[in-house]
Amino acid sequence: MLLASDGRVGRHTSVIRQEQSIDVNGYSVPVGGCVIHFYYTKVEQQRLLGFLLEGAARREGVVMACAENASEALSDGLEMLGVRRSEHEIIQVEITSNTRASIDAIAAAAKDALGRGHRYCGRVLCDFGSIIGQEAIVELEGSLNSALAGLNLVSVTQYDGRGFGAPITIEQFQTHALAIVGNAFFRENRHYTPPEAYFRKRAVGGRK
């Protein structure tokens, strides 16, 4: 199991102010919220780069984590926008097949980004490409959300949607403040069950 059980959430020192929010593709997501995005084309894969660049422009803490098979598309998207990542304080993390180590690296980078200059808010975009399978996504989402819990940021995870069937995609609607599927579907859920809590419930047979 990837989910942390060592009390790390209690050790975070940041305090989330729920009245604060960050715009994600035209939707207002409360700080501390999580977003999931399933893309099917390269253009869709690049659609949330503005979420990162807006944060960089506002001097917020920004992290971009990519699997190897997703890195090129996001780099191309930044170049098309006329932006070199080196010109902005976007912390980069490589996502590998060692998901536990990758989650730890993402969480460490997020804390680092928020600690630079005592920034209030942060933004994290994680593109797992096609390295995560059908069933692994539920545990992964729970583990990542647990690792980032208590930090003043909005996190976005995105995946190549071609690797997931409709049932597992729809299931994610329950556990995210905003779900984006291709170009056709956007769903807000202000009363979502946090991914880590949902994973625990699901693991003991409580899946609805």
CATH of the domain at 118: 3.40.50.300
Per the domain annotation, does 204 fall within a domain? no
Per the domain annotation, does 148 fall within a domain? yes
In our burial notation (b when 16+ CB lie closer than 10 A, e otherwise), range 165-188 reads eeeebebbbbbbbbbbbeeeeebe
Q: CA torsion angle for 14, 74, 136, 181 (degrees, to 10)?
A: 90
Residue 207 pLDDT greater than 70, yes or no: no
Q: What pLDDT was estimated at residue 160?
A: 96
Quote the CA–CA distance of 87 and 149 in Å, as a whole number: 29
68-82, 150-164, 184-198: range with highest mean pLDDT: 150-164
Q: Which domain holds residue 89?
A: 45-195
Per the domain annotation, does 26 fall within a domain? no
Per the domain annotation, does 107 fall within a domain? yes
Per the domain annotation, does 33 fall within a domain? no
Per the CB < 8 A criterion, the answer to whether 2 and 103 are in contact is yes
84: confidence class by pLDDT, cuts 50, 70, 90: low
Give the helix ranges, DSSP H, for the chain.
Answer: 8-11, 42-45, 49-57, 68-80, 99-115, 136-148, 166-171, 195-203
Can you tell me which residue has the tokens 């960050």? 22
Per the domain annotation, does 87 fall within a domain? yes
Quote the CA–CA distance of 31 and 11 in Å, as a whole number: 18
Mean pLDDT of 59-83: 87
74: confidence class by pLDDT, cuts 50, 70, 90: confident
Per the domain annotation, does 8 fall within a domain? no
Q: What pLDDT was estimated at residue 81?
A: 78
Domain total of the chain: 1
Per the domain annotation, does 30 fall within a domain? no
